[in-house]
Amino acid sequence: MSRRPTRTEALDARARQELVAAARAVRKRAYAPYSNFHVGAAVLDGQGRIHVGCNVENASFGLTICAERNAMAAAVSAGARRLRAVAVVTATRPPGTPCGACRQVLAEFGDDDLPVLLASAAGPADETSLGALLPRAFRL
């Protein structure tokens, strides 16, 4: 009996590179005049489509929208309901991780083994999983 590959195994090197490249490209469009912390995110949906988002700050800081949630909104708007992977790009080393709110939103559309690729503006991406970033996520 053969076993089904995990999400991480099913995500090949080319898909990882494309996802990180998409997040790097959209990071350049971030609107971050207050923090100057530009973030790009890309999500790979269950149909193999990549959706991107960048952070959009607001003078009323609570209204700022994170890149990861923007990417998820684009995915959902396109009909996605399941994720295969996520990439997040920041300028920092080590790369930044999604905030708590974004982790919970990702948990709505991905399982604990969802690959999360964390990358800086250049160089290889680090890989973790949603479950490692958000153990025991709230799910109904």
Q: pLDDT by residue (tens digit) across 82-137? A: 999 999 999 999 999 999 999 999 999 999 999 999 999 999 999 999 999 999 99
User: What is the per-residue pLDDT for 132?
Assistant: 98
Domains of the chain, earliest start first: 14-133 (3.40.140.10)
pTM of the shown model: 0.92
Q: Could you list the active site residues?
A: 68
Q: Is the dihedral of CA 57, 81, 51, 83 positive or negative?
A: positive
DSSP state of 61: G
Q: How far is CA 102 from the centre of its chain?
A: 9
Residue ranges with strand state E in 46-113: 50-54, 83-89
Query: Does the structure show a pLDDT above 80 at 5?
Result: no
Among candidates 70, 86, 67, 66, which has minimal Cα distance to 78?
70
Query: Does the structure show a pLDDT above 50 at 4?
Result: no
